[in-house]
């Protein structure tokens, strides 16, 4: 199996105003664009990095690799904060909650999980098993709900407090949606990259489909 490109080959900006650059297949550098000599090296991954997530305040970085490993760092110092080991299930997606207290991951084993952001200890699993669309998961602005898409085109809602499945918002025909986001008032979802192009849907299980079993 060939290693995938580091964070999809992207150079990314961080919430703290740094630029995240691939230093190698298993390392990142955070660079201050106004003072390029100020660099923070993020090291210690055991496999090539698939994707990087940043906390909303820019203080933490979470990366996951193609062999199931994952790690978080202090974005200011490069110090390792926590590490996930012992799993061979590749993480497909990771996102911080609005208050940065938890991290949601979707994995190749069809599980969705919530972890404490400070030490990566497990909190709960999302109810049901899905063939997830990578990078599709999002929290509502108040952190109480989670939306994610699977490869069948189904867009589901979960309660972020206990992982309970709330229902299916929509089931789109054709390719699954690539990007999901809540509106600022959490009432609607923006779905982009679907056969609809871009659409605004009610963020309730009663919006288009009645709640159903996952």
4 and 106 inside one domain: yes
Inter-residue contact 191 to 173 (CB < 8 Å): no
Q: Which two tokens stand for residue 92?
A: 């497909």
Q: For residue range 76-127, what is the model confidence (pLDDT) as tens digits?
A: 999 999 998 766 688 888 999 999 999 999 988 888 999 999 999 999 999 9
How far apart (Å, rounded) are the C-alpha atoms in residues 174 and 185? 29
38 and 133 inside one domain: no
* Residue-level length of the chain: 214
Determine the pLDDT at residue 169: 86
* Residue 141 buriedness (CB in 10 A; 0-12 / 13-18 / 19+): middle
Domain end, chosen from 95, 125, 155, is at 125
49 and 105 inside one domain: yes
CATH of the domain at 206: 2.40.10
Q: Residue 175: is its pLDDT beyond 70?
A: no
15 and 121 inside one domain: yes
- Predicted model pTM: 0.85
- What is the count of structural domains for the chain? 2
173 and 188 inside one domain: yes
Determine the pLDDT at residue 140: 95
User: What b/e string do you get for 80-96 counting C-beta neighbours within 10 Å, with b at 16 or more?
Assistant: ebbebeeeeebbbbbbb
Under 8 Å CB-to-CB from 35, ≥6 apart: which residues?
A: none
How far apart (Å, rounded) are the C-alpha atoms in residues 106 and 171? 19
Determine the pLDDT at residue 5: 40
Q: Residue 154: is its pLDDT beyond 50?
A: yes
How far apart (Å, rounded) are the C-alpha atoms in residues 141 and 190? 13
Which of 39, 41, 65, 33 is CA-nearest to residue 52? Answer: 65
Quote the domain boundaries for residue 193: 129-214
98 and 165 inside one domain: no
Report percent pLDDT > 70 for the chain: 84
Domain end, chosen from 101, 125, 149, is at 125
CATH of the domain at 100: 2.130.10.10
Q: Which two tokens stand for residue 120?
A: 């990566």
Inter-residue contact 47 to 67 (CB < 8 Å): yes
State the pLDDT confidence band at 4, using cuts at 50, 70 and 90: very low
Q: Residue 8: is its pLDDT beyond 60?
A: no
């Amino acid at each position: 199996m060939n290693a995938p490109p580091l964070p999809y080959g992207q150079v990314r900006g961080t919430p703290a105003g740094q630029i995240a650059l691939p230093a190698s297949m298993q390392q990142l550098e955070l660079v201050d664009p106004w003072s390029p000599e100020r660099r923070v090296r993020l090291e210690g991954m055991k496999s090539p990095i698939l994707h990087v997530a940043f906390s909303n305040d820019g203080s933490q970085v979470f990366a996951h690799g193609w062999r199931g490993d994952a790690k978080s760092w202090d974005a200011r110092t490069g110090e390792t904060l926590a590490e996930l080991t012992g799993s061979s299930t590749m993480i497909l997606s990771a996102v911080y909650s609005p208050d940065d207290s938890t991290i949601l991951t979707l994995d190749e084993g069809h599980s969705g999980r919530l972890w404490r952001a400070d030490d990566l200890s497990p909190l709960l699993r999302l109810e049901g098993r899905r063939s997830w669309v990578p990078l599709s998961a999002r929290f509502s602005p108040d952190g109480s709900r989670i939306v994610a898409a699977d490869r069948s085109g189904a867009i589901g809602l979960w309660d972020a407090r206990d992982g309970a499945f709330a229902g299916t918002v929509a089931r789109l025909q054709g390719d699954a949606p690539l990007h999901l986001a809540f509106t600022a008032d959490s009432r609607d979802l923006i779905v982009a990259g679907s056969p609809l192009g871009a659409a605004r849907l009610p963020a309730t299980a009663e919006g288009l489909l009645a709640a159903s079993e996952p």
